[in-house]
Structures are given as C-alpha cells and as structure tokens.
C-alpha cells in the first residue's frame, strides 16, 4: 500500500476542492494578529534577483487570482499575502535547480505526522501526486506552467499542517472537554519563514511543542509496531490471581505481552512464573501506578487486558492535549497531574521535586486550569463552602448540636461556618493560594493516611499535598527570615497569617493519562473523570 492509499480516507477526494476552507477553520480562531495575517506586512522591495537565494519571482496579481478562486476568510488570505510580501514575491519552495531542499524536508515532516497521527484531514491529493512525481522523476519534474500553483499550494499546506500539528484540532473545544488552561498560540508565519531561511534543516529545533510531545510520539510508533507484528489476544486466565511458582499456558501469554511492552527484557517461552516474570510485572505495575507486588490479578490483570487499540487512542488523546499546552517555562513552576495523583516542582525550568497529592473525587472533579501562586497562609481558617455547608455541615448540626464545638468550628457572618486554625483543621496547618474562579488551592491535611493509597481521589476538589512543610520552605526560600523554625512556629501559631510571595509561581493543573517519565518509561493512568472517554468520542467517532 502506498502513502496515498494509506493516508487518504474516502471523504478526502470529495473535500479536496474545499481544501483551503478546512485549513482556514484551523487558522481563523487560533492566531495572534501578527500571526494570522490581520495586519498587512510591508512588501520588502530590497529583495531582488541579485541578492535573493533564488532568481525565481512571480507576479503578485497571479497570487491574488489564485486566492480569489478560493473561499477563505480575509485573515487567511492576508496570512499568505504577508508571507510573500516579506519575500517580495520570491518563490519559497523552488529555486533555479528545481525543488528546493526545504520543500522536501517539509514534505517528509508532514508524512511523518500523517503516519503517526493517522489524521487524513490535512491530506492533499494534488500535492501528494506532485510529491510522488518528484520522487519518481527527479527534482525538476514540475513544468514552469504549474510551478506557481504548486508553490502556493505548498504554502497553504504548511499553514494547515502547522496549525493542526502544533496547536491541535480546533474543532475540539477545550472548554467542552473541561480544559481551562488557555490554548497555546503559535506564530506559524514566523515558523514558515524560519523553515525557508534554514532550508528545512534540523526543524525539530524550532518545533513549537512541549518536550513530552516527541517522547509520546516515539512511544506511539512502538505501539503501532507491536500492533503490526504481533497478535494482541486477551489473556486466558481463569484463576483470580497468579503468583510466583504458578505454571500454565497463561504464563506464556503473560511473558509475551510483557516482552512486547518492554517490561520483560528477554523473550521467554517458558510456562513457569519465575523471578524474572515477577520483576517484569513490578515494572509494569510501576508504569501504571499500581501496587508493586509482582502478582497478576485485580487491577494489574485489568490493565494488561486492555486492547492495544485503546492504548493507542489513549496516547493520541494525550498527544492532542500536549499540543494545547505551552512550552515548559524556564522559571519556577508547579505542575499537578490529576490522574497521576502527583505534584511536580520545577526550579528555573529544571525538575526539582515531586510529592503525592489527593485530588477531587469523580463527583467533585478537580478543575484543569492554570493560575499564579501568590500567598502562603499559615494556620488557616477553613471557610466551609456553601455546597458542603448545605449538604453536610447543616444536617450534622441538626443531628448533633455539639457538632460545631467538637469540630472546632464557629458560625460567623450571615449563617456561614468556618473551622478554626489548629491541627484538626481540614486544611491542615498551611494552605497555598493561587486566586481563581474555581475556589481550588493547595493545602495540608490532617488525614495523612490517604497519601499511602494507590488511588487518591478523595477531596471536594482542592488539592491536598503530602509535604506542606517542604512546599512552604521552597516557596519562601529567597526570604532569609523564613527559617525552618519560623515556618514551624507560624504553622502551629493557631492564628491565621497571610504571607505574600515576592514572586508569583505559575501553577498548572493538568490531566494526562499517558506520558513518558524521566527514566524513559511510558506511563498510563486511569481516566478517573472520564475526560479521555469524552475526548475519544469526539476524536475517533
């Protein structure tokens, strides 16, 4: 099967004549004015045949006619005009020798994207026919009469590709998918200009994507290879669990799966549950956030029994999410990954620390958003939220008049209730505020035992952290007055105290159920809020 057959869906041929309409739906909503062409660029008449990389130029009137033939928003038309204005209408994809290097580099880059994404929406049969002809007949294949049209189609195609590959599918409404982190913006005009100037070499250097994107993409290719070369059949296990020393046909199946996934380093066709298999299972369990006991059963068996197609879709969903997020900041920042139940700390852009967290239940989801951490609050009050007050506290008071006193609570204001500072306060001895519309923050907790659980979705939406003293010390480390003793005293003072940070720290609360860790291991986690399921329905329907 050739590339055209591989990538082309039956609807692509019908949509080819509307190719620029679909590409513009990606562009019109996602660019800054300087990037989407709303502001006209000044024509650079200093570029001439004597000083340009190519002696090939075209008439601006010909481009205008090409654009007029297509139904597209004015912003997209201006994007194309701006690109060629900056070049004084010099060809970008051709030179006097024929097809320029950057054209081939871009086409290979796009082919790689189409292969791993399996996304036929940007497939261009006109350009694919041209590319096939170049491959078969050489670099000077395009006659002069067709060169302009191929040139302009390639420019349009790059904008379509870049919008989809680097900013994600604009038909997926992030807010409808419970994602409130602002989506990344990319100046694709500048990106194309850089690609042409550098002749498409080392394009990975300036791909505007998160580091995790490339790591997940490589893992996705491995899963495609497993799918192509092997038979991923369900495990034939009738016993409730399998442990070291057991034998049987299921052990052979189990070893094969774990070898394909990379957890078992050497292929083994034996039917004995030996030490090497036990170690492989523990590696698997680590990657899935499960109890590392080396036993097959329960959650471990459930995860091993997932179809390969589901894992591929799970990776694709998370790759799409990564397209939405900005590049990693070079400053301090905090990242909470909800399905992982972990908080990660970065100092000057470098990984510094992680800790367990407790997040919201499936009923009380922790929201996916970003904010700036501004305050450390020692010995905090807990102001009972209206929902909890109505559903839990007021009924408890009605049943037991001593409820407030026993829980160190008091009424204040207009019937509101708060819990006084102290060791039994629901927020613990310190909280960390990044003001937001969702009333979500980081805080200590008296319920330390919950951090020992593998699955930690127990809160009403806020995020409980396992190491509050470490967090307070790290946030206040630039202030010499906040010694360990001073922090301990403030946490146990029994009197609320707000401390404003000298420099705000960005906090990202994300939702990633597949990622590659710092040791290069592919991790998966449960879709605890059903966000993957909803997104899969929209992406693969």
Say how many CA atoms lie within 13 Å of 159 toward its Cβ.
Answer: 32
pTM: 0.85
Q: So what's the pLDDT on residue 41?
A: 61
Q: So what's the pLDDT on residue 36?
A: 44
Per DSSP bridges, beta strands 463-465 and 442-443 are parallel
Mean pLDDT for 71-76 is 82
Instruction: Label residue 47 by pLDDT band (50, 70, 90).
Output: low
Strand (E) or helix (H) holding 350: strand 350-360
Q: So what's the pLDDT on residue 235?
A: 86
Instruction: Label residue 51 by pLDDT band (50, 70, 90).
Output: low
Rounded-to-integer distance, Cα 507 and Cα 344, Å: 10
Instruction: Label residue 13 by pLDDT band (50, 70, 90).
Output: very low
Instruction: Say if residue 453's pLDDT is above 90.
Output: yes
Instruction: Label residue 230 by pLDDT band (50, 70, 90).
Output: confident
* DSSP assigned state of 264: S
Q: What percent of the chain has pLDDT over 90?
A: 65
Instruction: Label residue 140 by pLDDT band (50, 70, 90).
Output: low
Lowest average pLDDT, out of 2-11, 296-305, 371-380, 381-390, goes to 2-11
> DSSP for 185-211?
---HHHHHHHHHHTTTTTGGGG--S-H
Q: Which residues of 492-525 are buried (b: 16+ CB within 10 A; e: fewer)?
A: eeeeeeebebeeebbbbbbbbbbbbeeeeebbbb
Q: How far apart are the first and last CA of the chain?
A: 25
**Residue in the structure block whose two tokens are 């394909």:** 260
Q: In this predicted model, what pLDDT tens digit does every residue of 142-163 receive, in sequence order? A: 666 788 999 999 999 999 999 8
Phi and psi torsions of 344, nearest 5°: -120, 135
> DSSP for 452-472?
GSSS-EEESSSEEES-HHHHH
Instruction: Label residue 5 by pLDDT band (50, 70, 90).
Output: very low
Q: Is 443 a catalytic residue?
A: yes
Q: Which residues of 341-355 are buried (b: 16+ CB within 10 A; e: fewer)?
A: bbbbbbeeeeeeebe
Instruction: Say if residue 1's pLDDT is above 60.
Output: no
Instruction: Say if residue 32's pLDDT is above 70.
Output: no
- Average pLDDT value for the chain: 87
Rounded-to-integer distance, Cα 207 and Cα 213, Å: 10
Q: Is 460 a catalytic residue?
A: no
| Selection from 215, 275, 130, 229 nearest residue 517 by Cα | 215
Instruction: Label residue 499 by pLDDT band (50, 70, 90).
Output: very high
In total, the chain counts a number of residues equal to 541
Instruction: Label residue 46 by pLDDT band (50, 70, 90).
Output: low
Q: Which residues pair with 431 in a beta bridge?
A: 377, 443
Instruction: Say if residue 33's pLDDT is above 80.
Output: no
Rounded-to-integer distance, Cα 111 and Cα 103, Å: 12
Q: Which residues pair with 412 in a beta bridge?
A: 416
Neighbours of 435 (CB within 10 A): 11
Rounded-to-integer distance, Cα 460 and Cα 117, Å: 37
Q: So what's the pLDDT on residue 54?
A: 65
**Candidates 12, 30, 344, 462; catalytic one:** 462
Instruction: Say if residue 44's pLDDT is above 60.
Output: no
Mean pLDDT for 525-532 is 97
Q: So what's the pLDDT on residue 15?
A: 31
Q: In this predicted model, what pLDDT tens digit does every residue of 312-369 receive, in sequence order? A: 999 999 999 999 988 788 899 999 999 999 999 999 999 999 999 999 999 999 999 9
**Candidates 30, 344, 443, 531; catalytic one:** 443
Q: In this predicted model, what pLDDT tens digit does every residue of 116-135 receive, in sequence order? A: 998 888 888 989 888 888 87
CA-CA distances (angstroms) from residue 182 to 174, 326, 501, 513, 517?
A: 9, 9, 24, 20, 24
Instruction: Say if residue 257's pLDDT is above 90.
Output: yes
Instruction: Say if residue 17's pLDDT is above 50.
Output: no
269 neighbors 216 (Cβ within 8 angstroms): no
Phi and psi torsions of 518, nearest 5°: -70, -15
């Amino acid at each position: 099967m050739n590339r055209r057959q591989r990538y082309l869906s039956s609807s692509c041929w019908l949509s080819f004549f509307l190719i620029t309409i679909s590409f513009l739906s990606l562009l019109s909503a996602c660019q800054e004015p300087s990037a989407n062409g709303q502001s006209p660029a000044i024509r650079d008449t200093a570029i001439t045949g004597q000083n340009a990389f190519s002696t090939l130029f075209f008439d601006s009137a010909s481009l205008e006619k090409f654009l007029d033939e297509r139904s597209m928003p004015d912003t997209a038309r201006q994007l194309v005009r701006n690109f060629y204005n900056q070049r004084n209408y010099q060809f970008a994809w051709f030179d006097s020798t024929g097809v320029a290097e950057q054209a081939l580099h871009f086409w290979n880059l796009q082919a790689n994207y189409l292969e791993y994404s399996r996304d036929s929406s940007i497939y261009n049969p006109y350009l694919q026919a041209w590319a096939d002809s170049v491959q078969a007949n050489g670099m000077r294949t395009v006659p002069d009469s067709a060169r302009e049209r191929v040139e302009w189609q390639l420019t349009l195609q790059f904008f379509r590709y870049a919008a989809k590959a680097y900013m994600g599918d604009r038909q997926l409404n992030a807010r409808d998918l419970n994602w409130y982190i602002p989506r990344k913006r990319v100046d694709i005009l500048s990106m194309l200009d850089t690609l042409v100037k550098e002749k498409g070499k080392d394009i990975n250097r300036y791909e505007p994507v998160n580091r995790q994107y490339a790591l997940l993409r490589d893992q996705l290719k491995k899963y495609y290879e497993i799918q192509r070369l092997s038979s991923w059949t369900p495990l034939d296990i009738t016993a409730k669990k399998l442990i070291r020393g057991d034998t049987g046909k299921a052990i052979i199946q189990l070893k094969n799966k774990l070898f394909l996934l990379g957890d078992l380093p050497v292929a083994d066709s034996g039917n004995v549950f030996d030490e090497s298999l036990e170690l492989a299972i523990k590696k698997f369990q680590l990657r899935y956030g499960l109890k590392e006991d080396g036993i097959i059963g329960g959650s471990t068996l459930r995860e091993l029994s997932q179809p390969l197609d589901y894992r591929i879709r799970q990776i694709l969903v998370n790759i799409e999410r990564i397209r939405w997020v900005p590049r990693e900041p070079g400053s301090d920042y905090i990242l909470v990954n909800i399905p992982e139940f972990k908080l990660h700390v970065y100092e000057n852009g470098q990984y510094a620390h992680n800790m367990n967290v407790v997040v919201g239940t499936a009923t009380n989801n922790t929201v996916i958003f970003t904010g700036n951490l501004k305050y450390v609050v020692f010995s905090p009050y807990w102001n009972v939220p209206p929902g909890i007050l109505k559903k839990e506290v007021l009924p408890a008071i009605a049943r037991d008049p001593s409820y407030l006193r026993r829980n160190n609570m008091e009424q204040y204001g207009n019937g509101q209730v708060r819990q006084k500072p102290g060791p039994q306060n629901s927020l613990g001895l310190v909280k960390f505020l990044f003001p937001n519309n969702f009333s979500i923050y980081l805080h200590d907790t008296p319920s330390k035992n919950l951090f020992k659980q593998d699955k930690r979705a127990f809160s009403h939406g806020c995020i409980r952290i396992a190491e509050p003293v470490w967090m307070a010390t790290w946030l206040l480390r630039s202030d010499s007055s906040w010694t360990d003793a001073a922090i301990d005293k403030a946490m146990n003072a029994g009197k609320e105290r707000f401390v404003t940070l000298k420099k705000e720290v960005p906090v990202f609360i994300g939702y990633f159920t597949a990622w590659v860790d710092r040791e290069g291991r592919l991790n998966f986690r449960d879709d605890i809020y059903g966000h993957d399921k909803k997104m899969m329905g929209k992406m693969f329907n």
